Structure 1
Amino acid sequence: MQGRSFNPEFKLKIVRAVLSGEKTVIQVCREHNLSESLIHNWKKLYREKGEVAFTTATQSRTTPATTEQQEITALRQRVAELERLAGQQALEISILKKVSEMLNTSASPNGVK
């Protein structure tokens, strides 16, 4: 895998697929013959700098406004990831509550609390 280079669009596609939960890191690694550490590095870069993290050196010269925009992009991505995680946890809590109710109902005499 050494010596290969990947264009910014490819890196963004991979990182977005992983962060959105569409695919796992393992799935992406197998599909594209990539190392897990590479994907984790791309994710870290993306979280820190946003899409600009994957631009070429000549494109990465930034002005303060661009740096601020990068930070905004990175924060938006982080918010989206946290919202996704919160949604997953809310679903898990809901399922656990239903299971708990079912167990409480079946444990009481005649199914009545």
Structure 2
Amino acid sequence: MKKRTFDQEYKIQAVELCLEGDKSIAQVAKELGLAYNTLHRWVKEYKESDGKSFVGSGHIKPQNQEII
């Protein structure tokens, strides 16, 4: 089975469905075909990073920029 990958925009839209709507994380995860734990982790990362989460593809998180 191939591992699915999701881009930053998709993750943010999924998280916003949870935060701005009246549906629970479990309901949104089921509708999108995601594991509850995955979406819960995305929501947590989004909240902790003040909306600047889900960097990837060679991009550096702001808190790690100083190290480099």
Task: Tell me the TM-score range normalised by the shorter chain.
Answer: 0.7 to 0.9
* CA distance in structure 2 between the partners assigned to 1:41 and 1:63 by the alignment: 19
| Higher RCO by CA contacts (8 Å cutoff, separation 6 or greater) | 2
**CA-atom RMSD in angstroms:** 2.8
Percent identity reads 29
Aligned twin of 1:19? 19
Question: TM-score, normalized by length of structure 2?
Answer: 0.73
**Between Structure 1 and Structure 2, which shows a larger proportion of helix residues?**
1
* CA distance in structure 1 between the partners assigned to 2:9 and 2:58 by the alignment: 16
Aligned twin of 1:36? 36
**Unpaired segments ≥5 residues, structure 2:** none
Q: Does the aligned pair in 2 maintain the 1:52–1:60 contact within 8 Å? A: no
Letter in 2 for 1:36: Y
* CA distance in structure 1 between the partners assigned to 2:29 and 2:2 by the alignment: 14
1:40 deviation in Å? 0.7
* CA distance in structure 1 between the partners assigned to 2:38 and 2:48 by the alignment: 15
Question: TM-score, normalized by length of structure 1?
Answer: 0.48
Query: Which protein shows a greater Rg?
Result: 1
**Unpaired segments ≥5 residues, structure 1:** 67-113
After the TM superposition, which parts of structure 1 deviate over 4 Å for at least 4 consecutive aligned residues?
A: none
